[in-house]
Structure 1
């Protein structure tokens, strides 16, 4: 999975810190190479089947280079106690804090090493790991099929990037370490773009809301039912597509994009290169099915424009009707 890139660059090409690793069996946790790896029952026997994967990020108390610490809370603790899951569980250990670029490096290596269903990658973490979950989901929004941050927080101004990522947030109402508002602000900022975001507050829980969270059986049913988001093309009246034809200029960078139309699609031209953008409704278009970047048209006549939803919202206004 490549990190989101700007529409202009995408059109032109089509359109840190040290991480440690270790291993875990399907019955007990086994230390190897710096992360804990749990393999579900049947993994060794069925050599063709691909399995979902859950990436679990621990809290600040489990930092360091002693993997025994990672077994103290959350999903690794449940595995150590004998609980069985139908997914691969990877629980790395951070020496200091979570770095999304290093976690992404880990994910790439895991995808090469294990039989993983790439449409069913899931991310969860508690406290510091909750913050890490929000950060990684924002930086790599097309990677995970669902995200479950527990008593964490992040940057509300960027959370709209997760508009296509199913998200279930958990927090304790009496948390005096990470205040409830840290999750509430993220949920409030995300909901206008992702109305299905789920938010569970445990009224009597303090900072340890993760015990209740990971003992919630419906969480796993919900999570495993999610698949990585992909756009799906729909048919749009040709007259609507023709109406979008014109020359558009970025309101900040002054990049110019020429929009023309073809049968059932729009064609964006940047510096003499062309790429089809396909509709997933009459006003919204995508470039690649699995890349969470879209182009949304609005307005009429001289006020017509489109917005590229990428790492930021980039506005292109029509300067000439084609």
Structure 2
């Protein structure tokens, strides 16, 4: 197909030519290439197109969903989008009764300005060449695309009957043109990439302007709020119930569509049963694990489950299982799992691929990793360090005076997170305490201090800079801990577990030298919610250092045996000796 069309946009001339369409093997999506021109300047990009299974056999018009992806999916090959976010959801949902288009933002681009002018042209193209119900066009986006959703509404509100912004947010101006459009805003409360306050503020502004919007804040969910937002069918059913200028409109699914959405919900329910239900106690050499499947719907379901152990130190028997799950019932499958590695070989773990089948048709595919109960195993792997009180409290001035830190306890042998090797960068960590405070001094060698990264401010993404981090767990048997990250500029990101609203009352000072940077800290016991430690007691502790010029290499005092540091059961222990 090669359709050429021009449109005057303000004082600019936009032209679009659809160049090609390519079916992606094994995918429900078609790759489309489009060329647009703004005032003679060419602009090429690609998008994915999803059409309902009955589209070619029908003459009806369909609702349309425009999806704007996050920053990590930018590129020049939209086929990669089938691995990300919303396109993944529809890979096994051929009967979804709407068209879905997913443009790809170019590398370095953003869903704003001229990029949205070209998305507007894309909507012109699709609505003229596909049977689209133009009273039921919706927009949703996540992260960068969540921001882009708000910008697209500001710029081209006339397209849309409803919207859903996931882990996004936007400024407070320019909402007057779309307050009549109903929306949803969804965000994870533990998101430290785009903080949930962004969504809360924009929702409050939208409501004050007279807009109608629902807000969902997911507890214990980070930046990946698109998982609880897009995996179940509820958000899409809500969208399909919205129609321009018709608040009383009600989507009435056919019998086939009702079955489709019920099976979708069934699949989502079973997927949620997967993480955490297959547990291998590593302190045993072999274990039997049972996977329970609960089917709350009126449709019998068959699950075909295949384990993948390649490259691991585990064996699983049987590797393939078929589970017949009755309607409104449950079924189980039992597997024998053995482990032949050591503490350095825990990862990778086995995973399984699952297909859920009804009436011979696959309606859900998903994968999950084996989960194991490692608490007992790691009780014998804890790193410990005895710590003595200081003779005098050091002055927190960024100098690490030898006399003041004379009897401090060094933390030695930083390791890579996998525990296989020592951290190659030179670091020095000193600890001490008195009745009032815990004292920490850190010196990190940096041959080129002019290239230190330290651009993030307080309680933003300081963890992306060069940094030193301490994790303090007053009660080693509790999952609660305090976390302080500091960059060379002295900016911090701190919190109680993942609650960034906690701002501790502590003192620190950084200093950048010719070939190093350092930080001194004084952390009152009271700000940690505890009294001064008594002799022969202990607390959980972890220290980390990160160098961006060494390919973001991280060192840990107590290795977690993979990259995720927030594992309090693997923190080390500080044993207090007393006077």
With the length of structure 1 as denominator, give the TM-score of the two structures: 0.62
Structure 1 residue 29 displacement after superposition: 2.3
Structure 1 residue 3 displacement after superposition: 11
Map of 1:65-84 to 2, 5 A cutoff? 65-82=76-93, 84=95
Q: 2:110 aligns with which of 92, 97, 111?
A: 97
Structure 1 residue 80 displacement after superposition: 2.2
The Cα offsets for residues 181-238 of structure 1, whole Å up to 9 and x where unpaired, read as: 111111000112345310001111100000110023221121111012379xxxxxxx
Q: Counterpart of 2:223 in 1: which secondary structure?
A: coil
Structure 1 residue 67 displacement after superposition: 1.5
Structure 1 residue 75 displacement after superposition: 1.7
Q: Which is richer in strand?
A: 2
Asked if structure 2 preserves the Cα contact closer than 8 Å seen for 1:4 and 1:140, the reply is no
Map of 1:48-59 to 2, 5 A cutoff? 49-59=60-70
Q: 2:218 aligns with which of 197, 202, 208?
A: 202
Specify the alignment match of 2:195 in structure 1: 179
Specify the alignment match of 1:297 in structure 2: none
Q: Counterpart of 2:173 in 1: which secondary structure?
A: coil
| Gap change, CA 1:63 and 1:27, over 3 Å in 2 | closer
Structure 2: segments with no counterpart, 5+ residues: 1-6, 34-45, 248-579
| Gap change, CA 1:205 and 1:229, over 3 Å in 2 | same
Asked if structure 1 preserves the Cα contact closer than 8 Å seen for 2:147 and 2:165, the reply is yes
The Cα offsets for residues 258-285 of structure 1, whole Å up to 9 and x where unpaired, read as: xxxxxxxxxxxxxxxxxxxxxxxxxxxx
Q: Which is richer in helix?
A: 1
Structure 1 residue 162 displacement after superposition: 2.1
Q: 2:171 aligns with which of 155, 177, 201?
A: 155
Counterparts of 1:19 and 1:57, CA distance in 2: 21
- Residue 44, structure 1, aligned to residue 56, structure 2: yes
Counterparts of 1:67 and 1:19, CA distance in 2: 17
Structure 1: segments with no counterpart, 5+ residues: 6-15, 232-322
Map of 1:227-246 to 2, 5 A cutoff? 227-229=243-245
Specify the alignment match of 1:141 in structure 2: 157
Counterparts of 1:94 and 1:74, CA distance in 2: 14
Counterparts of 1:29 and 1:118, CA distance in 2: 21
| Gap change, CA 1:193 and 1:3, over 3 Å in 2 | farther
Higher Rg:
2
Q: Counterpart of 1:32 in 2: which secondary structure?
A: strand
The total of aligned residue pairs comes to 219
Map of 1:281-296 to 2, 5 A cutoff? none
The Cα offsets for residues 26-51 of structure 1, whole Å up to 9 and x where unpaired, read as: 9622323121100012211112x110
Asked if structure 2 preserves the Cα contact closer than 8 Å seen for 1:24 and 1:36, the reply is no
